[in-house]
Amino acid sequence: MNSQAVGMLRQHLAEGHTVCVVTASIDEWVRPLCARLGVTTVMATGIEVTADGMVTGRFLGANCCGRQKVERLLQLFPRRQSYRLYAYGDSSGDDELLAMADEGFRLGRRRLFGRWPLLRHCCPDDGVGGRRSLAARG
């Protein structure tokens, strides 16, 4: 995972936001890393594994890329106007997710540039009518 993305994840977690990772990467690869970082909500591409642990090479459902990232995020957090969405992305597969974010950034190899979302996180309502925040990483 990009070191900038890890830094942003940690920052959002420290601010009390709920962070979810939304990625086309394989669920079984991403989930352990996310758990180590303190991220419990992961939306990734599932793969078929047989009862004896063999990977078949087939996806379980759609690849979590492009529009699929938006659809999965909205399934889990459907009331889009009730939270502020931050996103950080590093590929064209993040474009749809970045486009729907309130604030988004495209990650470069060495620096953050542009206003494209990749990370989404969600934090509790501030109790005074403010919107929650949600961060997702593509």
Write out pLDDT tens, residues 55-65.
898 999 999 99
Q: Which two tokens stand for residue 129?
A: 């009518």
Q: What is the mean pLDDT of residues 62-71?
A: 94
**Do 98 and 104 touch, CB atoms closer than 8 A?**
yes
Q: What is the mean pLDDT of residues 108-126?
A: 41
Upper half-sphere CA count for residue 107 (Cβ side, 13 Å)? 22
Q: What is the mean pLDDT of residues 105-115?
A: 55
pLDDT over 90 at 91, yes or no: no
0.85 exceeded by pTM: no
- Three-state SS across the chain? CCHHHHHHHHHHHHCCCEEEEEEEEEHHHHHHHHHHHCCCEEEEEEEEECCCCCEEEEEECCCCCCHHHHHHHHHHCCCHHHEEEEEEECCHHHHHHHHHCCEEEEECCCCEECCCCCCEEECCCCCCCCCEEEEEEC
Q: What is the mean pLDDT of residues 40-66?
A: 92
